[in-house]
Amino acid sequence: MSAKQHPDYDFEKKRLEFTKTYIRFLLEQAKESKQHYQENMGEAYADLNVLDSSLGYSNLLTNVQFLEMTEREHRQLEYVRHKPYFARIDFQESKKGQHEKLYIGKASLYDRESQKDIIVDWRSPVANVYYDSRLGDVTYEVGDEVVTGNVSLKRQYIIEDGELEEIRDIDITTHDELLQQALSGSAQNRLTDIVSTIQDEQNRVIRADLYKPLIVQGVAGSGKTTIALHRIAYFIYKHAAYFSPQSIMILAPSKLFLTYISEVLPELGVDQVRQTTFLEFVVQCLDPKLRFSHMEDDLISLLQGREEEKQQERAKVIAFKGSLRFARLVQRYAKDIEQGMIPEGDFKIGNILVMKHERIQELFLYEYKYLPVYKRIQKLKIVLMNYVRTKKVQWEQRILKNYEIKLGRALAIGDDMRRKETVTRLMEKKETLMADFKKGCRTAVNHYIKRFPKRDVFDYYSELLTNEELLRAYDERLTGALVSGLASSRLRWKRHYRAEDAAALLYLQHYLYGPRQEVKTKSIIIDEAQDYTMFELYALKKICKTELFTILGDLSQGIHSYRGVKSWGNVVEQLFPKANYLTLERSYRTTIEIMNLANAVLSSSCEVKVPLAIPVVRHGNAPGFILYDDERQLAAALERAILQAKAGKLKSFALLGKTKAECEYLMRIFEAHSSLAVELMTEQRELDTSVVSIIPIHVAKGLEFDFVAIVSHSETYSREELDAQLLYVGMTRPLHQLYVCAKRAEDVLLDDINKDLFMRETGELGSE
Ligand SMILES: Nc1ncnc2c1ncn2[C@@H]1O[C@H](COP(=O)(O)OP(=O)(O)OP(=O)(O)O)[C@@H](O)[C@H]1O
């Protein structure tokens, strides 16, 4: 209800004014403190030359740290001042008996004098009660302790620009009203935070054990991306000492997607989290010059279905390269490289045995095992150099002694001539030997180390792919077709690889060289994880040396399933046996009508591997099916639908095609027959809601729009799993309105679907 109509309006208004005034006061204080620390820094800097330098630096450093802290506080206050909180719970803890009104917001605030909470952070233990429990008796956990109490009121606020607009009391069970309101809004070109309407199943994901891997199967629109980001904010709040933002890495499918999610973390007060794509990460670990063709290229070839047999073979090669079987093959190869590296024979300087081959092997293969193979060479070099240095005098004396004995014998020779000759020869020999020995001590280690092979990861990997004998040696069950498929999958240019090679290269780099820069990641969040191969997940685990993965995906959207995850069970069993597995079955993005049609299309054409999405209670228009005959009709019908939707306040519009070629075709149709501003979206561009975006479905995966039309013009959808999943992905992108346009119902798999699930329109309706 409107805030003013609520019986507690005066009280709540006063409370809000008090909070705002206090925030203003703190902001003033923070401003003064900042100035103070800046002045101190200036003085400390000037003193650097005068004072003992360590004291000067420590002064400077202390002030820099205080300044950073104050700036952080300042930023946080600035960012909550217009919307300090979004909910209140009245809570009475059983033990204390004290009744508390707890206001929940995005950041905590307390009275500096009384130390009492003014705002409680949404991530704090007690705030869990707001998300998780109903009115009445509740419990929540603080560490190992369980706190019991009673919640007598749950209240929500809508505060805009510091003004109280609405107050709602949640009487029995749900947050539905506020959720409905949140969901009925428009899709922006950026994802937003949802702290005030997090649902209980989502709350469980956000707060799931942070020290265990977590795998989440969530239907389309269930909030996976959104809650992954909230989980990061929770990580940082709960374990600030262990998880700095820099130690967390998000892996997203594309740069476009990264831009799309870029505002959520700052909205949640979190910055500096590493956000990248898997291929970008591999490039950073290996070599900035490394280039990958995109996995979408393979998808496109598969979708276009050209030279079907060849494509089937390619799909098999891609699938194999993503498998743990290939990972084992690469592992064996890496082991052999390791074993075969050590130069033959003992390490000697002249005749002096420095180290036996067996001992070097022992050091290299066992004692330095904790290091990547090539780093062990450096280690061995240092050890051998030190060894030679410490032993040099002893060896020298041994040589000298040897000659002393020989000289002693020579001096005893009776014949003057022979004695002289022998002594001179021995002296000369000694001189040469000593000179050689000294030189040997300086150079022998380097010479020995140079005998280790010097090859890079690309060289090794190319050798593996193209050497039939090697491939069979590491996997004797390999078929001839696969062997030749692997060989022909190698790209011609050095440092230019296919996406399917990324995992093997990453693994080899990890095993042989270690990453180029130290990987400081302690926790990895993977979105759209159904597109990852088992080998990719395995290689990531190895190179980051962590088990702390949060893996979120939806098998129903597995359009890369020829390579990607087929079952979460496999991921748990083979890679993360300690993982928690959670599911999200409710979908928040689309209306019931749209979700019902998407579910029907999916289940009519392929085996559904996971539960179908349950839409939250939000109704909308029935999806429209536009049957058209020619380009002109199509453009006119869609223009009309879009203008109508614009009048109905929808803001973001997308036309989805099966492939890039189809989208380019649509672009031409619209430019020729419509006055709408359209733009062809690629992964490099940013979403612009002022135009109608034309996007291939696989690029739109993960994104959302108010209005979506899926157009089949030059491309149709078959009953193959890949096509049905692609349609499903497209159909689950809109928030409010879906159109499917085709020349025949079977082209978009609607021929077999219950006709009540969509409204059939003909192109003529729209053409005037
Ligand atoms: N609890 C919630 N309150 C309000 N909005 C929500 C909530 N949960 C999800 N949403 C909204 O639902 C939409 C879908 O969320 P999101 O994109 O995170 O889902 P997803 O599971 O990653 O989807 P997909 O797999 O289809 O890409 C977003 O607009 C998000 O803001």
Assess whether pLDDT exceeds 90 at residue 339: yes
Q: Which residue has the tokens 């909205």?
A: 267
Q: How far is the CA of 395 from the centre of ligand 1 (A)?
A: 74
Whose alpha carbon is nearest atom 14 of ligand 1? 221
Q: Of all helices (H) and strands (E), which one includes residue 102?
A: strand 99-105
- DSSP secondary structure string, 507-574? HHIIIII--SS----SEEEESSGGGS-HHHHHHHHHHHT---EEEEE-GGG-TTTTTS-S-HHHHHHH
Residue 740 tokens read as 């499917």
Q: How far apart are CA 439 and CA 286, in angstroms?
A: 38
Q: How far is the CA of 624 from the centre of ligand 1 (A)?
A: 23
- DSSP secondary structure string, 67-93? HHHHHHHHHHHHHHTTS--SEEEEEEE
Whose alpha carbon is nearest atom 8 of ligand 1? 223
Q: How far is the CA of 404 from the centre of ligand 1 (A)?
A: 88
pLDDT of residue 765: 44
| Beta carbon of 222 within 6 Å of any ligand 1 atom | yes
Q: How far apart are CA 132 and CA 210, in angstroms?
A: 18
**3-state SS class at 695:** strand
Q: Specify binding-site residues for ATP.
A: 218-225
CB 513 within 8 A of CB 373: yes
- pLDDT tens per residue across span 122-165: 999 999 999 887 788 999 988 888 999 999 999 999 998 889 99
Kindly report the backbone phi and psi dihedral angles of residue 235, in degrees, each rounded to the nearest multiple of 5, phi listed first: -50, -50
Q: How far is the CA of 217 from the centre of ligand 1 (A)?
A: 14
CA-closest candidate to residue 663, choices 639, 697, 632: 697
CB 513 within 8 A of CB 372: yes
Residue 394 tokens read as 């002893």
Q: Which atom of ligand 1 is nearest to the CA of 701?
A: 27
Q: How far is the CA of 85 from the centre of ligand 1 (A)?
A: 22
Q: Of all helices (H) and strands (E), which one includes residue 692?
A: strand 692-696
Which residues lie across from 104 on neighbouring strands? 87, 120
The letter for the amino acid at 88 is: R
Q: How far is the CA of 482 from the centre of ligand 1 (A)?
A: 41
Whose alpha carbon is nearest atom 1 of ligand 1? 198
Q: How far is the CA of 646 from the centre of ligand 1 (A)?
A: 23
CA distances to 181, 345, 354, 588 from 194, rounded to whole Å, are 12, 66, 67, 11
Assess whether pLDDT exceeds 60 at residue 349: yes
Q: How far apart are CA 595 and CA 597, in angstroms?
A: 5
Count of positions (residues) in the chain: 768
- pLDDT tens per residue across span 479-498: 888 888 888 777 766 778 88
| Beta carbon of 704 within 6 Å of any ligand 1 atom | yes
Band the pLDDT of 685: cuts 50, 70, 90.
low
| Beta carbon of 182 within 6 Å of any ligand 1 atom | yes
- pLDDT tens per residue across span 189-234: 778 888 988 998 999 999 999 899 999 999 999 999 999 999 999 9
More confident residue, 585 or 242: 585
Q: Specify binding-site residues.
A: 218-225
Q: How far is the CA of 224 from the centre of ligand 1 (A)?
A: 7
CA-closest candidate to residue 495, choices 260, 288, 294, 700: 288
pLDDT of residue 508: 97
| Beta carbon of 734 within 6 Å of any ligand 1 atom | no
| Beta carbon of 590 within 6 Å of any ligand 1 atom | no
More confident residue, 172 or 341: 341
Burial tier of 456 (Cβ tally within 10 Å: 0-12, 13-18, 19+): middle
**3-state SS class at 382:** helix
Between β-strands 653-657 and 624-627, what pairing exists: parallel, antiparallel or unpaired?
unpaired
CA quadruple 177, 183, 185, 186: dihedral, nearest 10: 180
pLDDT of residue 87: 94
CB 275 within 8 A of CB 252: yes
Q: How far apart are CA 81 and CA 105, in angstroms?
A: 11
Q: How far is the CA of 447 from the centre of ligand 1 (A)?
A: 61
Positive or negative, the Cα torsion across 503, 507, 513, 515? positive
pLDDT of residue 722: 84
- pLDDT tens per residue across span 412-442: 888 889 999 999 999 999 899 889 888 988 9
| Beta carbon of 194 within 6 Å of any ligand 1 atom | yes
CA-closest candidate to residue 226, choices 279, 263, 255, 254: 263
**3-state SS class at 608:** coil
Q: Of all helices (H) and strands (E), which one includes residue 375?
A: helix 373-411
- pLDDT tens per residue across span 361-418: 999 999 999 999 999 999 999 999 999 999 989 998 988 999 999 999 988 888 889 9
DSSP state of 622: P
- DSSP secondary structure string, 667-680? HHHHHHH--S-EEE
- Across 664-671, average pLDDT: 93
| Beta carbon of 702 within 6 Å of any ligand 1 atom | yes
Our mutation pick for probing the ligand 1 site, out of 178, 589, 701, 733, counting the most ligand atoms within 8 A of Cβ, is 589
**3-state SS class at 51:** coil
CB 621 within 8 A of CB 635: no
Q: Which atom of ligand 1 is nearest to the CA of 553?
A: 25
> What count of Cα atoms within 13 Å lies in the side-chain half-sphere of residue 767?
14
| Beta carbon of 588 within 6 Å of any ligand 1 atom | yes
**Residues in CB range of 553: below 8 A, 6 or more apart:** 216, 217, 218, 224, 526, 527, 528, 529, 530, 531, 532, 565, 568
Q: How far apart are CA 598 and CA 593, in angstroms?
A: 9
Q: Which atom of ligand 1 is nearest to the CA of 192?
A: 31
Query: Could you tell me what percent of the chain has a pLDDT over 70?
Result: 94
Whose alpha carbon is nearest atom 16 of ligand 1? 223
Question: Rg of the Cα trace of the chain?
Answer: 34
- pLDDT tens per residue across span 518-554: 888 999 999 999 999 999 999 999 999 999 999 999 9
**3-state SS class at 145:** strand
Our mutation pick for probing the ligand 1 site, out of 588, 602, 617, counting the most ligand atoms within 8 A of Cβ, is 588
pLDDT of residue 307: 57
Q: How far is the CA of 192 from the centre of ligand 1 (A)?
A: 9
CA quadruple 178, 180, 181, 182: dihedral, nearest 10: 90
Q: How far is the CA of 544 from the centre of ligand 1 (A)?
A: 29
| Beta carbon of 224 within 6 Å of any ligand 1 atom | yes
CB 380 within 8 A of CB 368: yes
Band the pLDDT of 684: cuts 50, 70, 90.
low
CB 172 within 8 A of CB 150: no
| Beta carbon of 183 within 6 Å of any ligand 1 atom | yes
pLDDT of residue 766: 40
- pLDDT tens per residue across span 323-333: 999 999 999 99
- pLDDT tens per residue across span 276-325: 999 999 999 999 989 887 666 666 666 665 556 677 788 888 999 999 99
Q: How far is the CA of 721 from the centre of ligand 1 (A)?
A: 25
Weakest-pLDDT range from 91-100, 444-453, 660-669: 91-100
For residues 620-630, b (16+ Cβ closer than 10 Å) or e, as one string? bebbbbbbbee
Q: How far is the CA of 242 from the centre of ligand 1 (A)?
A: 29
| Beta carbon of 225 within 6 Å of any ligand 1 atom | yes
| Beta carbon of 197 within 6 Å of any ligand 1 atom | yes
| Beta carbon of 218 within 6 Å of any ligand 1 atom | yes
Whose alpha carbon is nearest atom 3 of ligand 1? 197
Assess whether pLDDT exceeds 60 at residue 78: yes
**3-state SS class at 218:** strand
More confident residue, 65 or 756: 756
Band the pLDDT of 176: cuts 50, 70, 90.
low
| Beta carbon of 706 within 6 Å of any ligand 1 atom | no
CB 464 within 8 A of CB 321: no
Q: How far is the CA of 640 from the centre of ligand 1 (A)?
A: 29
The letter for the amino acid at 553 is: G
Burial tier of 201 (Cβ tally within 10 Å: 0-12, 13-18, 19+): middle
CA-closest candidate to residue 321, choices 533, 580, 9: 533
The letter for the amino acid at 656 is: L
* Average pLDDT taken over every residue of the chain: 88
Whose alpha carbon is nearest atom 26 of ligand 1? 220
* Three-state secondary structure of 162-198: CEEEEEEECCCCCCHHHHHHHHCCCCCCCCCCCHHHC
Whose alpha carbon is nearest atom 30 of ligand 1? 223
Our mutation pick for probing the ligand 1 site, out of 174, 205, 226, counting the most ligand atoms within 8 A of Cβ, is 226
pLDDT of residue 734: 96
Q: How far apart are CA 360 and CA 232, in angstroms?
A: 46
Q: How far apart are CA 13 and CA 10, in angstroms?
A: 5
**3-state SS class at 137:** strand
The letter for the amino acid at 297 is: D
| Beta carbon of 589 within 6 Å of any ligand 1 atom | yes
pLDDT of residue 487: 82
ipTM of the complex: 0.99
* Neighbouring C-beta atoms of residue 648, cutoff 10 Å: 12
Q: Of all helices (H) and strands (E), which one includes residue 444?
A: helix 416-450
Q: How far is the CA of 223 from the centre of ligand 1 (A)?
A: 3
- pLDDT tens per residue across span 624-658: 999 999 999 999 999 999 999 999 889 999 999 99
pLDDT of residue 767: 37
* Neighbouring C-beta atoms of residue 466, cutoff 10 Å: 15
Q: How far apart are CA 26 and CA 11, in angstroms?
A: 23
Q: Of all helices (H) and strands (E), which one includes residue 705?
A: strand 705-711
**Residues in CB range of 366: below 8 A, 6 or more apart:** none
Whose alpha carbon is nearest atom 12 of ligand 1? 589
| Beta carbon of 221 within 6 Å of any ligand 1 atom | yes
pLDDT of residue 144: 84
At residue 383's C-alpha, the angle toward residues 377 and 389, to 5°, is 135
DSSP state of 449: H
Which residues lie across from 708 on neighbouring strands? 654, 738
Residue 386 tokens read as 């030190």
- pLDDT tens per residue across span 728-741: 999 999 999 999 99
